[in-house]
Structure 1
């Protein structure tokens, strides 16, 4: 898969999604493309550079979006237990989570992109095959979620799209700060 190709969503001959599902996948593919496009022609070292006052780097943003998408798909499939209890996280748990936002020694941009492609295929396959977009789970315990709120699969997919779009914008700023290249605009 190249940076410009959307992930496939043809698991074992399943017909291509139509209607709302096709719209969700098309929107997600567009924002994934913008995010992947920000790292075109970069070295592993460049993908790990902080170019603004933020702690964020391009490779780390892609790692984070990959983790977010994976975790929310797990939530769609298995409910809040798939994500854990954020209120019980230790300092070590938060430190591991912070590693999502940076390129660690031994990580490569190619590896980060490959993992993102795998997660994207899984999400696309789920959207195509999920029996009911209305199926809902209570949100995991976290200080940033409304207590007692539930999200449907549809709402969760919209959240994945919003996260991807937001971080693609962050990545565009980081890339422009790195070498003047722009992906949007």
Structure 2
């Protein structure tokens, strides 16, 4: 069964879920993930505990869902726009630029020791969207995915002194 989002929620549901995800990010800037309570999330978003539990069983699911929405947005914006070659300069650049629009989220997860959630999501995207389309060996894709995510995180941590284009041009997999 696919782990990628299936757009099973209405726009209103998606908005509520995205608000909860953004609340968790904001709370993670103030305190450690382990110290965040469901009550903190519901207060920050202005929803009831019943609404929270309508969508989620835990705060971890909030983060995973938010990450899946980010991936869904990437798929909607970029699926079908790339050449027959993978990886390419164009898709590396597109990924860096898209990730950059969610840099706070990526960095907060990294600081919280939740890098594995990011890596799992990127690997799932590669397994379900890239491997079937390009017929590339999975470990080659995993190496690209890991390098891309690591380069992105380090680029952000180092203040993005280079342009995304320069990073994509120097990427060894393209």
Q: Which has the higher contact order (CA 8 A, sep 6+)?
A: 1
Higher helix fraction: Structure 1 or Structure 2? Answer: 2
Q: TM-score, normalised by structure 1?
A: 0.24
Q: TM-score, normalised by structure 2?
A: 0.25
